[in-house]
């Protein structure tokens, strides 16, 4: 079985057995651990779950929306049939509303309609985070100040949702690119599998265009939680993990001709990215909490 399956399922089991039930701003309680950490060697094994199906196309496009298109416009995703951020889209009146009650949760300038405000890709573009990262990796590989922070205090009040995966630190050792990712709040059931695969693809792309090998991905989480309406699905996931035969990890293929991060295809079909040999145990649908 892929190492990522073991790490992920062990974390899920720990949350369910040791976690504490708490309330939060969404109105749906969670079971949480205050902190979690794990390490993956992406250069040896690409992390994507096999105990449930993960849709690589949607995961990669959301990542490219943030770091390549550097957009906060939800329509960019919708045009590519990705609807991850629909629940957080500001409407034409500049209002972000509760999807169930219609209550206005936050008010924005109407010019921010169809966006998620000053978050994620907006921050990447404004502060030239990817350009500066690539320049440093290419021209100053020993640099110890490569911090890509999506948490910018000046932008928080005008963001629909402050970044959950908010920071990454990038290191080069022995020609290998290593990344440390920080996540302030982690929807372990839905978000974490997406996020880990996204950053594994991102670091692989950045390594390729910078002439580096892919190394390790370290992940730290503050508030690793499972929503209570996801518990039964998580129990099914654990059953699959314990009672079915292990499946091998797939290989990530990136178009080897791409030498510019901005040249990776970001159309609906992400033609420069694919998985080879991906086997999984099928879908496991879960509610997404706004």
| pLDDT higher than threshold 60 for residue 63 | yes
Q: Which domain holds residue 139?
A: 3-276
Cα→Cα distances 8→98, 100, 106, 245, Å = 31, 31, 34, 17
User: Would residue 192 count as lying in a domain?
Assistant: yes
pLDDT digits (tens, 9 = 90+) for 217-227: 999 999 999 99
By annotation, the residues acting in catalysis are 164
User: Would residue 146 count as lying in a domain?
Assistant: yes
User: Would residue 287 count as lying in a domain?
Assistant: no
Do 162 and 119 contact (CB within 8 A), yes or no? yes
Do 288 and 85 contact (CB within 8 A), yes or no? no
SS3 27: coil
User: Would residue 290 count as lying in a domain?
Assistant: no
Interior angle at CA 265, CA 264 and CA 266, nearest 5: 110
- The pLDDT value given to residue 1: 55
Domain count, the chain: 1
pLDDT digits (tens, 9 = 90+) for 15-42: 999 999 999 999 999 999 999 999 999 9
Tokens read off for 249:
């990890």
Cα→Cα distances 209→106, 174, 222, Å = 40, 17, 31
User: Would residue 256 count as lying in a domain?
Assistant: yes
Nearest C-alpha neighbor of 19 from the set 7, 3, 35, 5 = 35
- The pLDDT value given to residue 79: 98
| pLDDT higher than threshold 90 for residue 212 | yes
SS3 181: strand
Number of residues that make up the chain: 290
0.85 surpassed by pTM: yes
User: Would residue 214 count as lying in a domain?
Assistant: yes
CATH for 46: 3.30.572.10
| HSE-CB for 219 with a 13 A CA cutoff | 29
Using 50, 70 and 90 to split pLDDT, how confident is the model at 91? very high
**pLDDT, mean over the chain:** 97
User: Would residue 8 count as lying in a domain?
Assistant: yes
CA 208 vs. chain centroid, Å, equals: 20
Cα→Cα distances 206→56, 70, 104, 165, 212, Å = 18, 15, 39, 18, 8
User: Would residue 284 count as lying in a domain?
Assistant: no
pLDDT digits (tens, 9 = 90+) for 119-167: 999 999 999 999 999 999 999 999 999 999 999 999 999 999 999 999 9
């Amino acid at each position: 079985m892929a190492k990522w399956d073991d790490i992920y399922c062990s974390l899920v089991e720990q949350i369910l057995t040791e976690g504490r039930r708490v309330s939060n701003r969404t109105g749906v309680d969670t079971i949480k651990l205050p902190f979690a950490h794990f390490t993956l060697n992406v250069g040896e094994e690409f992390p994507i779950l096999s105990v449930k199906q993960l849709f690589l196309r949607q995961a990669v496009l959301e990542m490219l929306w943030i770091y390549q298109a550097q957009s906060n416009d939800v329509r960019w995703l919708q045009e590519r049939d990705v609807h991850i951020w629909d629940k957080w889209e500001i409407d034409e009146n500049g209002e972000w509303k509760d999807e169930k009650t219609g209550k206005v949760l936050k008010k924005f300038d109407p010019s921010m309609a169809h966006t998620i405000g000053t978050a994620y890709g907006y921050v990447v573009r404004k502060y030239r985070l990817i350009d500066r990262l690539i320049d440093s990796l290419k021209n100053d590989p020993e640099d110890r100040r490569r911090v890509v922070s999506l948490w910018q205090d000046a932008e928080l009040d005008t963001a629909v949702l402050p970044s959950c995966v908010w920071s990454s630190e990038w290191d080069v050792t022995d020609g290998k690119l290593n990344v440390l990712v920080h996540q302030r709040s982690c929807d372990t059931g839905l978000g974490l599998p997406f996020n880990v695969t996204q950053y594994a693809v991102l670091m692989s792309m950045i390594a390729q265009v910078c002439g580096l090998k892919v190394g390790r991905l370290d992940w730290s989480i503050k508030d690793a939680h499972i929503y209570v309406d996801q518990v039964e699905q998580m129990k099914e996931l654990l059953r699959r993990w314990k009672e079915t035969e292990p499946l091998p990890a797939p290989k990530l293929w990136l178009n080897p001709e791409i030498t510019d991060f901005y040249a990776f295809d970001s159309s609906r079909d992400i033609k420069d990215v694919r998985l080879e040999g991906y086997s999984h145990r099928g879908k496991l649908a879960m509610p997404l909490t706004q």
